[in-house]
Structure 1
C-alpha cells in the first residue's frame, strides 16, 4: 500500500472514529437526537429504589421509556439513616443497573428533611462540605462502573425564614462561600466530578459584590461551578415571562464562559398555574419542550432538561409510583 493510500485510509478511519464518538454524546443520542433529560429523585423515592430491587427495576424501565437518561439520585441522610455511608453497596447496585441501561447518575444533595438551606450560614457551611465529601469518599472506594457521574446540590437560601431584602446579600454571599468551599473539597480530592447547583432563574436579576467583583449572582455561580440546573418553572416556551425568556441571560453567559445550563421544569400541583405543567396534557408539554430545544439546539451551553420531580412527573404522565413491599 502506498504512503498516500495509507495516509488516506488512516484519515478515513480517524474520521469514522470521531463520528462514532460524537454519536455517543448525550446531545446527539440514537433516540432521535433529543436533548438529554434528567430527573430529580428525592429522599423517599430514592430510598425506595435503593432498598427494594423490584422498585428500582421498574423505575429504571419507566425512565428509559420516557427517554430520561440522567438520574439526580438523592445521596444523603433520610429518616435517621445514611445509606451512602452505612450501606454503600445499595448505591453501587443501583448505579451499576442504571449504567447498564446507558444512564448516568448524579448524586443529589440538599434536603427539606435536613433543612439544608441553613448550610449557607457561616457556622453551618462545613456541613455542605461534609455532604459532598461523603460522595467523593464513596466514589474513591467504588469501582468505575459504580461511581456517581456528577453532583447536583439543591440548597436554597431564599427558603430561610431570615430571607428578606435586607438579609439577601449576606445570605447569597453565604451561598457563594459555601459553594467555593465545596469546590475546593472536590479539587483536593483529585476527582473531576462535575458539580453544579439547582438555581432559581431570578438570581440573574440580583447584582452582588463577592470577592471584590460585582455581577449578577447567576454569573458568580456559573463562574464557580461546572453547570447549573436552572429552576425555570414556567409551562410555556415563548414570549414574555416564558421558559426561554427566563433562561436567556444564563444561557448567554454560560455560552461565553464555557459552562452548561440544564433547564428545570416542574410537573407538580401549585399556584400560580404557570409554574407547572400539571393539569396539561403530555402532548402539550412535549410541544413546549420542543420549542425550547429548537431554540437552543445549536447553543454550546444547552445541556437539556431536568424534571421536578420523579414522583410528580410519573403522576403527570398517568403512571402511579410503585411502593416498596
Structure 2
C-alpha cells in the first residue's frame, strides 16, 4: 500500500513538473537583461507627487520586469520640482530603491525644446539642468540619490539639421563634453549617457582633431549610450541586431555600455515600432536580441519608449495575446 501511494505521488509530481517545464519553455518572456522605461513629464510628476500614483506605477513596472526608471527631472508647466520640491524626488527614489529599482534622471523635453540645447545661446540652460541633478544628489542621502542620468537631446529634430548637420553635431559633442566635465568636477559616480539614434554610426565627423563615426565620439565621451534602435524586426540588415552591431562592438572595446531602446508608441512608419504588434512579439524580439548580445560586455539590456505609451499599448492588446495589463 505504501509503495502504491509513493508511486502514485511520484507520478503526480512528475506530471506537474513536466507541465511546469513545458510552460516555462513556452514562455517568450524569460530573460536576465535589465529593462528600463523612459517616463516623461506628466507621469514622472505624478509619481513623485502622489504616493498612491507611485505605488500603482511601481507595481505595474515590477510586473513587467522593469528594473530602471528614467524619471523626468526638469521643469514642466511652470514648476521645477527637482529644484523647488526635492523632498518629493527623495521620497520617490528612496521608495523605488527599496523596491529594487534604479532611478535615472531623465533630462530632455519637447516642452522645453531641448533639441535647441546644442545651440550656443542655449548652452547655459542645458548645463543648468545637469547641475541641478548633481546638486540634488550632493544634498541627498545615498538611498535617495539618482543612480544615473539619461539625456534626450536630439539635434536632428531642428529645422536647420538639413543644412547645418555637421556643425550641429560638433555642438552636440561640445555640449556632451561640458556635461561630463560637470560630472567630474562634482566627484560623483552616477552613470551619464544619452539617447542616440542608431544611424549616427553612418556619419563620419572630425571633432577635436579626430575623424570617426559620431556614435564613436559619443561613446568615448559618456559612460553609456541608450541606442534608439527603433525597429520591430530583429534579423536582417534593417533589424535590431544589425543596427546595434557597430555600437556594441565599439563600446565593448572601450569598456562602455549600450542599452538597446525599443519603441511601442504609434508611428507613421510601422517598421520602427511594435505598436501594431502584440506584447508577445515584443518579448520574443527582446529574447532573440538578448541571445545575440548577452555575451558582449557592452550589453546593458533594453529601454522601452515610453511609460504612458507602453501602458496604452498593453491596454489595447487583443484578448489573450498580451501578458497582462
Structure 1 length normalisation: TM-score? 0.87
Residue 229 of structure 1, CA deviation: 0.3
Give the alignment of 1:171-250 within 5 angstroms: 171-250=168-247
Residue 285 of structure 1, CA deviation: 1.1
Q: Which residue number corresponds to residue 14 of structure 2?
A: none
Instruction: Tell me if structure 1 keeps the 8 A contact 2:37–2:305.
Output: yes
The equivalent position to 1:251 in structure 2, one of 248, 251, 258, is: 248
Q: Which residue number corresponds to residue 129 of structure 1?
A: 127
Q: Deviations over 1:59-113 (max 9, x none)?
A: 0000001100100000000001000010001000110110011100000001100
Which SS does the other structure have where 1:199 is aligned?
Answer: strand
Moved more, 143-152 or 118-127: 118-127
Residue 50 of structure 1, CA deviation: 1.4
Q: 1:71 and 1:284 mapped to 2: Cα distance?
A: 23
The equivalent position to 1:98 in structure 2, one of 96, 105, 109, is: 96
- What is the number of residues matched between the two proteins? 289
Give the alignment of 1:100-179 within 5 angstroms: 100-164=98-162, 166-179=163-176
Residue 33 of structure 1, CA deviation: 5.2
Q: Which residue number corresponds to residue 76 of structure 1?
A: 74
Residue 123 of structure 1, CA deviation: 2.1
Structure 1 runs (4+) greater than 6 angstroms displaced: none
Residue 32 of structure 1, CA deviation: 6.1
Q: 1:288 and 1:33 mapped to 2: Cα distance?
A: 11
Please state if 1:60 is matched with 2:58: yes
The structure with the larger Rg is 2
Which SS does the other structure have where 1:293 is aligned?
Answer: helix
Q: Which residue number corresponds to residue 309 of structure 2?
A: 312
Over aligned residues, Cα RMSD in angstroms?
Answer: 1.3
Residue 319 of structure 1, CA deviation: 7.7
The equivalent position to 1:266 in structure 2, one of 263, 268, 271, is: 263
Q: 2:265 and 2:192 mapped to 1: Cα distance?
A: 26
Which SS does the other structure have where 2:36 is aligned?
Answer: strand
Q: Deviations over 1:2-53 (max 9, x none)?
A: xxxxxxxxxxxxxxxxxxxxxxxxxxxxx96510000000001101111121
Which residues of structure 2 form unaligned runs of 5+?
1-28, 318-325
Q: 1:279 and 1:237 mapped to 2: Cα distance?
A: 16
Q: 1:192 and 1:232 mapped to 2: Cα distance?
A: 27
Which residues of structure 1 form unaligned runs of 5+?
1-30, 321-325
